Amino acid sequence: MKRLFAALLLLSSLAIAHAQERVEKWGVYEVVLKGADAGNPFIDLELGATFTQGSESYAPEGFYDGDGTYRIRFMPPSAGQWRWVTRSNHPDLDGKKGAFVAVEGKNKGPVRVANVHHFAHADGTPFRPFGTTIYEWAFQPEAKKRQTLETLRKTAFNKARMLAVPPYKPYYLSGATRLTDFPFVGSSRADFDFSRFNPVYFRNLERDVQRLSDLGIQVDLILFRPYDKGQWGFDTTSDAVNQRFVRYMVARFAAYQNIWWSMANENSYIKHLGDEDFDRYFQIVQKHDPYGHLRSIHNADRIYDYNKPWVTHVSLQYYNAVKVFGVSPLLRDIYRKPIVHDEINYEGNSASRWGELSGEELTRRFWIALTGGAYATHGEILDNGWIGGGGYLAGASPERIAFLRTIVEAGPKEGLKPIDQLFVMNTAGKAGEYYLMYFGDERPSEWRFELPVGELRSGMQFKVDVIDTWNMTITPVAGTFSIGELTRYRVADQDKRSVALPGKPYMALRIQRVGAMPAGPRAPVPGAVADD
C-alpha cells in the first residue's frame, strides 16, 4: 500500500483540493486542503467528505494537520471510480469536489469477525491472530524501531498491541530516549495544551502503523492507558478532551487497513474513567469509523461487558483462562464473539510474577488457547524488555508459536472449534474432518484412538500425526484408523488401535480424515448438555 497525496494548490487562504488519480483498494487516499489557521481548528472545525461510487457511500471525518493543512482520509473498499465532496463549517473547506480511481492491488483489507469466533480480511482471507506486545516501540529512537521491525520480519507475529500515547517513564525525559513530541502541544505537564493536538506526534505514529502494515502486521492500537504515574496528565484529561482525542484518532487512523481499536489497556487502572465512559468512546469510534475496524478493550480487575453491541471481540487479561483447559470454550459461549487472550503473562525473567514464564509455559498457554477455539498474544520481558520498547527477542516461545501458527493455518479454514466441549476439554477442529488435541503437561505414553461421535460415519478413515509442540516435529503414524461401530458418545478405531506417545509433556495429535467418504448419515452431535 502506498500513500498518495492529493496535489496541493495554494491560493491565498482559499482552500483548493486536487485529487490524486489512483490508489489501491484498501489503500489510503487523502484529500489535502489548505485553509486559514485562525482560532483553534482542533476544536472549532467540522470537516469531512462523502466518497461515493454508485450506491456505495462513506463519510469519514477530516482533521487538522497543522500549518493550515487539512486532510480527509479514505480507505476505498471497492475498486472503481470514487467521487468525493467535502463538507465543513469553514466556507473555504466546504463543497470541494474531486474523483479518483481505486485499483485492485495486493491489499487484503481490514480484518473483520468471521464465522462468529474467528477473523478474516475484507477479501475473505482468514486471519488468525498470533499477536505480540510492544507497547512502547513507537516511542523509541529510530534505530531501535528499525531493529524491532527487523525482528518482527523474522517472526510469525501478525498483530502488535501498542500504545497510542506513551506511558510516563523517566527515561523519556532525557538522553537518547528523550521524547520531543507528545500527543498534545507542549513538552511537560506544566505546559501541555490539551486543546491542541501535536500533528508531528501523530505523523510519526502513522509512519509506524504503516511500517507494520507493510509487514502484514495488524495494529491493536490502544487509545487510553493508565501508567501516567501522576506526571503528564494524559490519563486525567476531561471527557471533552477524550472525545476529541478519539475522533482525532479515528480521523487520522481509520483509513489504515491494519488498525484495530483497543479502547484501553488495563481499563480499571485508569481511575479517572469508568466503563460508562468507555461506552461513550466506543460509540464515537463506531459512529465515525466508516469501515468498522475491530473494537475491543483490555481489562485489569474490572472486566468490561464484552456483550455490549459495539464490542467486536474479547480482548481479555485473565491468566487462569489459559492455565487450565476448558475456559475458552466457555468464553466463546458466553460472548459469541472471537476470544483473544491478549495478556497471558510473559516469557521472562522479571521480578514481577506476571513476567516470569518459561518458554515452555507460554507456549503451553498458547496451545490451550488455540485448542479451546480462541487466540492468544505473546509478550517477552527478558533482559531486553521487548514488551516495552521492542528491539530483539531472546525467548524460546516465538519459534514455537510460529510452528503452532503453521499448524493452525493448515487446519480448517473456518477456524478451530471446540469439539464435544463439555466432556472433552483438549480438542478443537472440525468434527468429522479434523481434530487437534493437546496434552499439555500430561505425559501419556499412548492414546487410544477414540473420537467424539458427532459427525462421524462408520468406515471413515483418519490419519494421525504426533506433534511435539516443543521440539516442533510432526511425525505421521503409520497407516490409517477406521471408525468402527458408532456408539453413543465416543467411537474407537474398529480394531481398538492406539497411538504410541513418547511420555513427554507438550505433545499434541492431529487427526485428519482421509480417503473416500463412506455412505450413510453422519452421527448427530450429542446434546452438549443433559437433554435426555
Q: Does 307 bind its own copies (CB under 8 A)?
A: yes
Question: Out of 92, 266, 277, 347, which residue is the one contacting its own copies (CB under 8 A)?
Answer: 266
Query: Containing H/E element for 43?
Result: helix 41-44
Q: Does 524 bind its own copies (CB under 8 A)?
A: no
- Cβ of residue 230: shortest distance to its own copies, in angstroms? 14
Q: Does 152 bind its own copies (CB under 8 A)?
A: no
- Cβ of residue 317: shortest distance to its own copies, in angstroms? 5
Q: Does 422 bind its own copies (CB under 8 A)?
A: yes
Residue closer to its own copies by CB (options 370, 464) is 370
Residue closer to its own copies by CB (options 351, 516) is 351
Residue closer to its own copies by CB (options 269, 392) is 269
Q: N- to C-terminal Cα distance for the chain?
A: 56
Residue 369's SS3 state is helix
* CA gap 345, 322 in Å, rounded: 10
Q: Does 305 bind its own copies (CB under 8 A)?
A: yes
Binding residues with its own copies: total (CB under 8 A):
42
Question: Out of 176, 478, 519, 529, which residue is the one contacting its own copies (CB under 8 A)?
Answer: 529
- Cβ of residue 21: shortest distance to its own copies, in angstroms? 49
Cα distances (Å, whole numbers) of residue 169 to 166, 191, 245, 388, 455: 8, 18, 22, 11, 55
What are the φ/ψ torsions at residue 178 (nearest 5 degrees)? -65, 135
Question: Out of 132, 397, 421, 469, which residue is the one contacting its own copies (CB under 8 A)?
Answer: 421
Q: Does 301 bind its own copies (CB under 8 A)?
A: yes
Amino acid at 272: H
Q: Which residue has the cell 459495539?
A: 310
Window contacting its own copies (CB under 8 A); options: 89-97, 117-125, 188-196, 302-310:
302-310
* CA gap 166, 226 in Å, rounded: 10
Residue closer to its own copies by CB (options 5, 171) is 171
Let me know: does 270 contact 228? Beta carbons within 8 Å. Answer: no
Phi-psi region of 227 (alpha: psi -120 to 50; beta: other; left: phi over 0): left
Q: Does 171 bind its own copies (CB under 8 A)?
A: no
Q: Does 310 bind its own copies (CB under 8 A)?
A: no
Let me know: does 469 contact 507? Beta carbons within 8 Å. Answer: yes
What's the grid cell of residue 4? 498518495
Residue closer to its own copies by CB (options 30, 343) is 343
Q: Does 333 bind its own copies (CB under 8 A)?
A: yes
* CA gap 28, 290 in Å, rounded: 13
- Cβ of residue 324: shortest distance to its own copies, in angstroms? 4
Q: Does 487 bind its own copies (CB under 8 A)?
A: no
* CA gap 112, 260 in Å, rounded: 10
Question: Out of 354, 450, 455, 474, which residue is the one contacting its own copies (CB under 8 A)?
Answer: 354
Q: Does 123 bind its own copies (CB under 8 A)?
A: no
Let me know: does 148 contact 212? Beta carbons within 8 Å. Answer: no
- Cβ of residue 301: shortest distance to its own copies, in angstroms? 5
Closest by CA position to 444, among listed 468, 416, 428: 468
Q: Does 532 bind its own copies (CB under 8 A)?
A: yes
Cα distances (Å, whole numbers) of residue 348 to 34, 158, 217: 50, 21, 23
Q: Does 447 bind its own copies (CB under 8 A)?
A: no
Q: Does 441 bind its own copies (CB under 8 A)?
A: no
Q: Does 318 bind its own copies (CB under 8 A)?
A: yes
Q: Does 352 bind its own copies (CB under 8 A)?
A: yes
Q: Please say whether the dihedral angle defined by the alpha carbons of residues 354, 357, 361 and 365, taken in this order, is positive or negative.
A: positive
Residue closer to its own copies by CB (options 5, 423) is 423
* CA gap 110, 226 in Å, rounded: 28
Q: Does 116 bind its own copies (CB under 8 A)?
A: no
Closest by CA position to 374, among listed 320, 427, 416: 416
Query: Containing H/E element for 280?
Result: helix 275-288
Q: Does 486 bind its own copies (CB under 8 A)?
A: no
Q: Does 343 bind its own copies (CB under 8 A)?
A: yes
* CA gap 297, 479 in Å, rounded: 47
Window contacting its own copies (CB under 8 A); options: 68-76, 329-337, 391-399, 494-502:
329-337
- Cβ of residue 142: shortest distance to its own copies, in angstroms? 28
Residue 152's SS3 state is helix
DSSP label at 69?
E
- Cβ of residue 473: shortest distance to its own copies, in angstroms? 29
Cβ atoms within 10 A of the Cβ of 482, count?
18
Residue closer to its own copies by CB (options 142, 532) is 532
Q: Does 329 bind its own copies (CB under 8 A)?
A: yes
**Residues in touch with its own copies (CB under 8 A):** 226, 266, 269, 299-303, 305, 307, 317-321, 323-327, 329-330, 333-334, 343, 351-355, 421-423, 425, 488-489, 527-532
